[in-house]
């Protein structure tokens, strides 16, 4: 049985690629040094996969910054502002300038846009498209890496983005968005280059090419669906390597007939996300085609139930024989590298988990268990391995650590709690009375600069070299500094500054039961940036208040209102590895109840306003429209569960950034926060259109400056933006604030920017 992999994490167990990239960008490492690190990582990762028993190894899954960017550069799709000579190869520094705007060589230019890869937390660089664009093979990395793998004696299977997914994900001024069929006109120029790539790979001796078309799991307009037949008729011509069409992150659904009609040699389907598609796929597969069954979950970190998978695949294995291949559901880019590097997780919990390296072992084990004529009982070693796997799963199922009777009893009772607060008009009146805010009140999104000193404090405290008391004193000093600063410049609604938080999810996860943390569980987010998502393994509860002490201290320093700051239930869920033994909505409700207690404790401590951040609310939307309503219903419900336990004079804020709101505005309104702050400066308030069209009733703080840049915004520019906002929404509903938190900024620009923001608010008030 052929075993293969769709992609391996490229960043390295110790984030070697991150270190090398950052050192190269800052001038500490030269190009040869960087290339050597990349080569070393590829070799190491191929060896891991070959040693695990994989037959075909992915090539092209490695990328210096992002695989979509790498592919755009390979196709010569470099926007004109980067000054690319059409006769020369695209240099690595040009790739970096496309990603980050600058590189050790070459003229700086505006970076390409970055956005989330389907429903993952990975970000890709958006291809920039224009009518009449010319394509050519402009980089040779893919071919060089194929040679590299061949020279090491491996069987490489290049992985490339399919032309339709690449176009769908691309943008350009001439195009209306993902589904704009006008982009399909570029196929005439694009397909000959794809054909050249395939011919060149065939000449290198490649047998199989994996061509990724994940858009086949989306709702596709007819023009796109129909384009598949035309495109693949051209690509699958004689002489090209055999094509494995890969789909992942969901089921093919109504695109299944399209996928099955294509003249490709194999089809990969995601059976972790959509196990129900196995039968229909088998029914239409035909007599010659390979089915690659994506059975090991590439999106989560739990050990696989191999007995169950074996049972589901037994009939397919018997029928297809060698035509059944096994693989993870998607690229392993989305999980950490190696569980064995974790030394602090207890053995029991560890036995439940599986990272990339372990997933390949599971794959091999499943392959052996499914092999024809193999009877697990006959081969002691195999039987023992399967028994170990079974025991681990059994231990997880039976463990009292995953189920907390008190949490479950409470959930059963409190899910019936009313979610409605008093009508907004009543709340607004009570809050006006209590808070006595001016028109155009000013506030911030929560975090203030996370300075090197603050990070050093936390590091020392966690290492045990700084005592609890000393740490608390030092953080209090930061809070006092932050409050004094806000008072001095005249901010109306203050925050404590979040100095005590490493990360907005990790901070809460560490204080709640049911979460575990890894030491090396890094997952690439974009470029050299990685995140270490917490693992939610058990029922979630809050043993003690989490933010009340810091917030109450901040409030004790000032007569102005201080806004408490929490991360919302959907965002905590979305940015964690979530248990798969109960529906996500149930886990979310547990988090929501824990937060509800925190909200009520903050209220009891005299905190007049509480913000529950939900920046990940929109990214939780399912890939298929048909699934949106169910998600939105429970996501909104969990938010309301967290926030509805307070009196009408307590002001609930929420914050979302980098979202589109037009298609979910009803749900945003249903959250019924008293104030929502959003990022709007880049779009120059265009995002407010959704709120205007909906006649959004509650308060809104549209961001007036971009926090990603150290530039200090002009007063006049901010006033202008707010006037645009006031043209769309009632001015008495408007707040003045930055786009997002300030933790990545330094103090000097923060002070200058906020002082100007306060001045802008004063001018707005004067213009009554
Ligand atoms: N309160 C958080 C902060 O200010 C919100 C961050 C976010 O939206 N991602 O940092
Ligand atoms: Zn934000």
Q: DSSP class of residue 107?
A: -
666 token code pair: 């009803």
The annotation status of 136 as a binding-site residue, yes or no, is no
- Residue 542: exposure state from Cβ atoms within 10 A (0-12, 13-18, ≥19): buried
Pairwise CA distance, residues 226 & 228, whole Å? 5
Pairwise CA distance, residues 152 & 281, whole Å? 36
Whether the CB-CB separation of 570 and 642 falls below 8 Å is answered with: no
Q: How many residues does the chain have?
A: 768
Three-state DSSP class for residue 266: strand
From 35, 246, 244, 68, select the one nearest 145 (Cα to Cα).
35
DSSP collapsed to 3 states, 282-312: HHHCCCCCEEEEEEECCCCCECCCHHHHHHH
Angle at the Cα of 104 (from 100 to 110), degrees rounded to 5? Answer: 30
Taking the CA atoms of 178, 183, 184 and 186 in sequence, report the sign of the dihedral they define: negative
Q: Is 653 in the pocket of ligand 1 (CB under 6 A)?
A: no
Q: Is 703 in the pocket of ligand 1 (CB under 6 A)?
A: no
How many CA within 13 A on the CB side of residue 8?
Answer: 30
DSSP H or E segment with residue 137: none
pLDDT confidence of residue 708: 85
Pairwise CA distance, residues 526 & 521, whole Å? 15
Residue to mutate, 531, 613, 744, ligand 1, most ligand atoms under 8 Å from C-beta = 613
The phi and psi torsions of 443 (rounded to 5 degrees) equal -155, 180
Question: β-strand 513-516 against 535-541: which pairing, if any?
Answer: antiparallel
Q: DSSP class of residue 121?
A: S
The annotation status of 530 as a binding-site residue, yes or no, is yes
The residues near 175 (Cβ < 8 Å, ≥ 6 apart) are: 129, 182, 183
Angle at the Cα of 265 (from 259 to 267), degrees rounded to 5? Answer: 45
Nearest bound ligand to CA 568? 1
Q: Is 445 in the pocket of ligand 1 (CB under 6 A)?
A: yes
pLDDT confidence of residue 377: 56
Residue to mutate, 482, 610, 701, 740, ligand 1, most ligand atoms under 8 Å from C-beta = 740
- What are the Cα distances from residue 303, in Å, to 258, 271, 431, 536, 540? 33, 15, 50, 14, 21
How many CA within 13 A on the CB side of residue 566?
Answer: 33
Nearest atom in ligand 1 to 571's CA:
9
* Ligand 1 center–CA 563 separation, angstroms: 13
Three-state DSSP class for residue 611: strand
pLDDT confidence of residue 682: 83
* Ligand 1 center–CA 715 separation, angstroms: 23
The residues near 202 (Cβ < 8 Å, ≥ 6 apart) are: 239, 240, 241
Which residues lie near ion ligand 2 (Cβ < 5 Å)? Answer: 615, 657, 740
Three-state DSSP class for residue 136: coil
pLDDT confidence of residue 371: 87
Pairwise CA distance, residues 259 & 254, whole Å? 10
From 710, 114, 59, select the one nearest 449 (Cα to Cα).
710
Q: DSSP class of residue 736?
A: B
DSSP string, 36-73: HHHHHHHHHHHHHHHHTT-SBEEES---SS-HHHHHHH
Whether the CB-CB separation of 649 and 431 falls below 8 Å is answered with: yes
DSSP string, 141-179: HHHHHHHHHHHTT--EEEEEE-HHHHHHH-B-TT--STT
User: Tokens 């886990």, residue?
Assistant: 587
Q: Is 708 one of the annotated active-site residues of the chain?
A: yes
pLDDT confidence of residue 373: 67
Three-state DSSP class for residue 204: coil
DSSP string, 501-546: -SSTTHHHHHHSEEEE--SS--EEEETTEEE---EEEEEEE-SS-S
Pairwise CA distance, residues 444 & 603, whole Å? 20
Nearest CA to ligand 1 atom 3: 741
Give the pLDDT means over successive 10-residue stretches in the chain (768 positions). Answer: 97 97 97 98 98 98 98 98 97 97 94 92 96 97 98 98 98 94 98 97 98 98 98 90 98 98 97 98 97 98 97 96 98 98 96 98 96 68 94 96 95 93 98 98 98 97 97 98 98 98 95 97 96 97 98 98 98 98 97 98 98 96 98 98 98 91 96 97 91 97 92 96 97 97 96 98 93
DSSP string, 620-658: GS-SSGGGHHHHHHHHHHHHHHHHTTS-TTSEEEEEE-S
Nearest CA to ligand 1 atom 6: 741
Pairwise CA distance, residues 291 & 295, whole Å? 12
Q: Cα Rg for the chain, rounded, in angstroms?
A: 27
């Amino acid at each position: 049985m052929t075993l293969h992999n769709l992609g391996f994490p490229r960043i390295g167990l110790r984030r070697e690629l991150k270190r090398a990239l950052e050192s190269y960008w800052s001038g500490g490492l030269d190009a040869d040094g960087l290339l050597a690190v990349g080569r070393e990582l590829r070799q190491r990762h191929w060896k891991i996969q070959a040693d695990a028993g994989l037959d075909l190894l992915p090539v092209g899954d490695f990328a210096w910054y992002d695989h979509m960017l790498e592919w755009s550069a390979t196709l010569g799709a470099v926007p004109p502002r980067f000054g690319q000579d059409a006769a020369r190869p695209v240099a690595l520094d040009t790739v970096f300038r496309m990603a980050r705007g600058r590189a050790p060589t070459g003229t700086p230019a505006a970076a390409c846009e970055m956005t989330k890869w389907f429903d993952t937390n990975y970000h890709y660089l958006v291809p920039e498209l224009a009518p009449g664009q010319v394509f050519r093979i402009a980089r040779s990395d893919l071919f060089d890496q194929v040679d590299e793998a061949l020279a090491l004696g491996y069987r490489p299977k290049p992985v490339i983005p399919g032309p339709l997914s690449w176009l769908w994900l691309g943008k350009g001024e001439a195009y209306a968005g993902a589904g704009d069929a006008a982009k399909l006109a570029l196929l005439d120029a694009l397909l000959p280059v794809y054909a050249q790539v395939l011919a060149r790979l065939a000449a290198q001796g490649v047998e199989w090419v994996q061509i990724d078309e994940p858009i086949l799991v989306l709702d596709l307009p007819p023009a796109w669906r129909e384009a598949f037949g035309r495109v693949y008729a051209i690509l699958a011509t004689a002489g090209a390597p055999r094509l494995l069409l890969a789909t992942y992150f969901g089921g093919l659904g109504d695109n299944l007939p399209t996928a099955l009609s294509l003249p490709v040699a194999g089809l990969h389907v995601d059976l972790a996300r959509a196990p129900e598609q196995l039968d229909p796929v088998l029914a239409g597969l035909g007599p010659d085609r390979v089915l690659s069954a994506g059975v090991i979950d590439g999106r989560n970190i739990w050990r696989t139930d191999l007995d169950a998978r074996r049972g589901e695949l037994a009939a397919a294995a018997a029928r297809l024989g060698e035509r059944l291949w096994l693989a993870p559901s998607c690229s392993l880019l989305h999980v950490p590298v190696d569980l064995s590097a974790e030394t602090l997780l207890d053995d029991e919990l560890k036995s439940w988990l599986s990272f990339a390296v372990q997933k390949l072992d599971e794959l091999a084990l499943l392959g052996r268990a499914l092999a024809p004529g193999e009877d697990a009982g006959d081969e002691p070693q195999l039987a023992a391995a399967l028994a170990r796997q079974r025991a681990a799963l059994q231990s997880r199922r039976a463990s009292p650590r995953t189920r907390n009777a008190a949490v479950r009893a409470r959930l059963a009772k409190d899910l019936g709690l009313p979610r409605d607060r008093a009508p907004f008009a009543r709340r607004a009146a009570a809050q006006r009375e209590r808070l006595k805010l001016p028109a155009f009140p000013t506030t911030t999104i929560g975090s203030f600069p996370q300075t090197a000193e603050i990070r050093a404090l936390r590091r020392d405290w966690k290492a045990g070299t700084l005592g609890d008391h000393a740490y608390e004193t030092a953080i209090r000093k930061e809070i006092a500094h932050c409050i004094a600063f806000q008072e001095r410049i005249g901010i109306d609604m203050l925050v404590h500054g979040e100095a005590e938080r490493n990360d907005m999810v990790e901070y809460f996860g560490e204080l709640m039961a049911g979460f575990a943390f890894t030491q090396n569980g890094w997952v690439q987010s974009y470029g050299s940036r990685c995140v270490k998502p917490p693992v939610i393994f058990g029922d979630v509860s809050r043993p003690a208040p989490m933010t009340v002490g810091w917030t109450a201290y901040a409030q004790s320093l000032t007569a102005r209102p201080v806004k408490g700051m929490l991360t919302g239930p959907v965002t905590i869920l979305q940015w964690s590895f979530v248990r798969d033994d109960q529906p996500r909505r149930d886990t979310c409700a547990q988090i929501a109840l824990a937060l509800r207690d925190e909200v009520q404790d903050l209220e009891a401590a005299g905190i007049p306003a509480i913000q529950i951040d939900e920046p990940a609310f929109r990214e939780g939307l399912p890939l298929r429209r048909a699934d949106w309503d169910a998600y939105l219903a429970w996501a909104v419900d969990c938010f309301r569960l967290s926030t509805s336990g307070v009196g009408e004079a307590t002001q609930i804020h929420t914050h979302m950034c980098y979202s589109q709101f037009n298609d979910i505005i009803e749900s945003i309104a249903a959250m019924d926060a008293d104030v929502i702050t959003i990022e709007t400066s880049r779009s120059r308030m265009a995002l407010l259109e959704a709120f205007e069209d909906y006649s959004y009733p509650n308060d809104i703080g549209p961001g007036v400056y971009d926090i990603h840049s150290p530039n200090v915004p002009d007063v006049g520019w901010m006033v202008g933006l707010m006037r645009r906002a006031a043209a769309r929404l009632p001015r008495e509903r408007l707040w003045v604030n930055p786009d997002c938190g300030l933790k990545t900024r330094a103090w000097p620009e923060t002070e200058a920017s906020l002082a100007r923001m306060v001045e802008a608010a004063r001018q707005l008030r004067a213009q009554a």
